[in-house]
Structure 1
Amino acid sequence: MSRSTDTTLPGTLSVLDVVALTVGVVVGASIFRTPSLVAENAGSPLLTFAVWGLGGGVSFIGAVCYAELASAYPHAGGDYHYFQRAFGDWMAFLFAWARLVVIQTGSIALLAFVFGDYASELLSLGAHSSSIYAAAAVLGLTVLNVAGVRLGKTTQRALTAATVLGLIVIVGTGLFLAPDAAASSTASGGGSMGSSQFGMAMVFVLLTYGGWNESAYVSAELKHVQKNMIRALLISLGLITTLYLLVNWAYLSGLGLGGMSGTDAVAADLMRATLGETGAIVLSVFVAIAALSSTNATIFTGARTSFALGQDASLFSVLGVWDDGANTPANALWIQGGIALALVGVGAATRQGFESMVDYTAPVFWLFFLATGVSLLVLRRTEPDVDRPFRVPLYPLTPFAFCLASVYMLWSSLAYTGVGALLGAGVLLAGVPLLWFRERAPADS
C-alpha cells in the first residue's frame, strides 16, 4: 500500500460539520440498552453518574490522540495505515482480520440484538424472540445492501436528529413526568462498587461512547485544524457527555436504581411507568428504527473495510469483488452477513445476546485501541520530521494516559466478561497462522 505522508486535503469542513459527524456517530442505539447494565454494576446513583462522566474523559483523551495521527497521516485506511507505518504489515493485517471477524461483525450482531430487544416489546416471538429479530435484521439489511440499497446522507442526518430528539423526550419524561415514588427511590441507595463491577460498568459505558474516533478521520479536512480540532472535540464530547448524564438522570428519576437495573428495554420501561403502555409502544418503535439505522450503517462501512482487505491481500481476494451493477462489494457483504449471523447464534445460545456480543468484541477492540496509542508514541520517535498539523497536548503524558486506560479496559474486558471474551480472543489468534500464508501469497498490486 502506498504511503500518504505528504497528502494534503482541502479544508472544507467547519467545526459544526465535525461536531455533527461525531455526535451522529456516537449517539446511537446503545444508549437505549447499556444504562441498565451500567446501573446494575454501579450499585448507586452517584457511582452511575461518576462512571458516565469518567467515560467522557477517557474518550476525550483518546480522541486527541487519534486527531494527531489522522492529521499527520491522512489515509482512507485509518488505523490500518497507522499500524502499517508503526509496526509493519503484520499488525495491519491482524487489524483488518479483527475488523472482519470480531469488531465490525460483532458490532452488527450487538446492534441487531438492541433491535431485537425492543421489537420484542412490540411483539414477542417466544423465548428466543430477540435472537429471531436480530437474525432477521442482519439478513434483511444485508440483502438490501447487496441489492444496492443504502441510506443516503440526508436520511442518516434525519435519523440522527430523530435519535437525539428521542433522547430529549426521554429526558423530559423522566425528569418532569416521573411518578413521585420512582423519583424518591433514587435518593436512597448509596452502595459500593467493587473492582469487578467498576470494570464491567466501564466496558458498557465506553461501548456507548464508541465512535468518537471517526472525527479523527476528517481532521485533515477541517479548516484551521490546529485550533479547530480541539474545539470540535471539546464541543462534541461535551454535548455527548451532557446528554448521556441527562438521560441517565431521567432513567433514575423515572424508574429508580432498582427499576433501571437488569431490564432489557430501560427506555420502554421508563415510558411505560410515566405514560403507560402507549408511551412504551411509541418509544419501542422509535428505538427499533434507530437500531436498524445503526445496524445498516455498520453493515455498510464494515463491508467496505472487508473489500479493501480483499484488494490488499490475495488470500482474501474473494472479498475484493465489486458488483458494478449494484455498485456494492457483494461478496464482502454476504461473508460479513454470514459471520454476523453466526454471532447472533452465539448470542442466542447464551440467552444473553447483547451482553455476549459485548464480551466478544470488547477485548479485541481495546487491544487495537492500545495499539493505536502505542503507534502514536512510535511514530513520534521514528518519523519526527513528518508535519503534524495537530499535536497532542501534554505529550507524552496524554498518550501514556490513553494507553494505561486501554490496558485497564483490556484487562477488565478479559477478567470480568464471560466466555464470549475467550471466543473473541481465540478468533483473533486464528488470524496469526494466516500471516504465514499471506507472506507466501502476496497481494497483487
Structure 2
Amino acid sequence: VAYLWVLPADQLMLTETPAADVSKVLFGARGGQFVSIGILISVFGGLNGYVFTAARSTFTLAQSDRIPFSNVLKKVNKNGVPSNATWFVFIVSSLYCLTGKYDLLTDLSTFMVWNFYILTFFGVIKLRKSHPDAERPYKVPFYPVIPIIAIAGGAAVVISTIITQFTYALAGIGIMLLGLPVYAYYEKKEKKEKLNS
C-alpha cells in the first residue's frame, strides 16, 4: 500500500526493484542507493540464517540416521560445527541457484516455509494439550489466540498461493512429499535393527 501511494501500479509492475524505486522518488538517488544497500544486508542476513538453520536440521536428521549419508552428515569439526551438513546445504542451494529461476525459488521456499509455520503452530497447540505440565521457558502470550491467528494467516497465504500459482504450489508439495518415503524407509530400517539386536 505504501508503494502504491508513491508509484502507480502500472509503474510498479514493470520494475524488479520496487523498494529502491520508491525510495528514489521519496529521498532522491542517494536514498535509493541507501535502501538497496539495506535490502542487500537483509538478504545476506536472511540467507545466512537459512543456511545455518537448514544445516542444523540436516545434521539433526543425520544424527537420528533418518537420511541417506547420515554417517557423513552427522560429523562435526574440531569446533563442534556440523561442517559436512553445512557444505551439503550450500551445494544443494547452489544447484538450485544454477537454474537461474530466482522467482521460482523464492515462490517455492516462501510457500513451503508457510506450510511449516502452520504445522509449527499446530504443534504448539498439540504440545500444550499433550504435555500441559512441561517446563516452558517461553510461553506464547494470549494463548490460544496468537497461534490461531497465525494458523489462519498462514493458511490464507498457502491457499492464495495454491489458487494463484498452482504449478509452484504443486511442485513445492511434491518436493516436500519426496522426503516421506525416504523417512519411512529409514524408520523401518531402524525398527528392524532394534528387533535384531
Match of 2:11 in 1: 259
For this pair of structures, how many residues does the alignment match?
Answer: 189
Match of 1:287 in 2: 39
| Structure 1 residue 274: Cα displacement | 5.2
1:15-54 residue pairs with structure 2 within 5 A?
A: 48=1
1:135-146 residue pairs with structure 2 within 5 A?
A: none
The letter for the 2-side match of 1:300 is F
In 2 relative to 1, CA 318–421 (structure 1 residues): closer, same or farther, beyond 3 Å?
Answer: farther
1:252-331 residue pairs with structure 2 within 5 A?
A: 252-273=4-25, 277=29, 279-313=31-65, 315=67, 316-324=70-78, 328-331=81-84
How far apart are the structure 2 equivalents of 1:405 and 1:290?
A: 23
| Structure with higher RCO (Cα < 8 A, 6+ apart) | 1
Match of 1:430 in 2: 178
| Structure 1 residue 398: Cα displacement | 4.8
Deviation sequence 1:96-145 (CA, Å, 0-9, x none): xxxxxxxxxxxxxxxxxxxxxxxxxxxxxxxxxxxxxxxxxxxxxxxxxx
Confirm whether residue 362 of structure 1 aligns to residue 136 of structure 2: no
In 2 relative to 1, CA 363–314 (structure 1 residues): closer, same or farther, beyond 3 Å?
Answer: closer
Contact 1:359–1:419 under 8 Å retained in 2: no
Structure 2 unmatched ranges of 5 or more: none
Match of 1:393 in 2: 142
Match of 1:335 in 2: 88
In 2 relative to 1, CA 285–336 (structure 1 residues): closer, same or farther, beyond 3 Å?
Answer: same
| Structure 1 residue 381: Cα displacement | 2.8
How far apart are the structure 2 equivalents of 1:274 and 1:404?
A: 35
Contact 2:66–2:183 under 8 Å retained in 1: no
The letter for the 2-side match of 1:264 is E
The letter for the 2-side match of 1:367 is N
| Structure 1 residue 279: Cα displacement | 4.8
Larger deviation: 355-364 or 330-339? Answer: 355-364
How far apart are the structure 1 equivalents of 2:149 and 2:34?
A: 43
The secondary structure found in structure 2 opposite 1:386 is: coil
The letter for the 2-side match of 1:437 is Y
| Structure 1 residue 336: Cα displacement | 0.6
In 2 relative to 1, CA 276–364 (structure 1 residues): closer, same or farther, beyond 3 Å?
Answer: closer
- Paired residue for 2:154, among 384, 390, 406? 406
Larger deviation: 406-415 or 256-265? Answer: 256-265
In 2 relative to 1, CA 280–383 (structure 1 residues): closer, same or farther, beyond 3 Å?
Answer: closer
The letter for the 1-side match of 2:142 is P
How far apart are the structure 2 equivalents of 1:313 and 1:332?
A: 13
Structure 1 unmatched ranges of 5 or more: 1-47, 49-247
How far apart are the structure 2 equivalents of 1:271 and 1:404?
A: 32
Contact 1:363–1:425 under 8 Å retained in 2: no
Deviation sequence 1:308-347 (CA, Å, 0-9, x none): 222222533322121227x64222122111221222234x
The secondary structure found in structure 2 opposite 1:430 is: helix
The alignment's TM-score, normalised by the length of structure 1, stands at 0.37
Contact 2:140–2:146 under 8 Å retained in 1: no
How far apart are the structure 2 equivalents of 1:271 and 1:407?
A: 32
The secondary structure found in structure 2 opposite 1:301 is: helix
How far apart are the structure 2 equivalents of 1:287 and 1:388?
A: 35
The letter for the 1-side match of 2:89 is Q
The letter for the 2-side match of 1:307 is F
The secondary structure found in structure 1 opposite 2:142 is: coil
How far apart are the structure 2 equivalents of 1:393 and 1:263?
A: 41
| Structure 1 residue 431: Cα displacement | 0.7
The alignment's TM-score, normalised by the length of structure 2, stands at 0.74
1:71-86 residue pairs with structure 2 within 5 A?
A: none
Match of 1:195 in 2: none
The letter for the 1-side match of 2:73 is L
The secondary structure found in structure 1 opposite 2:7 is: helix
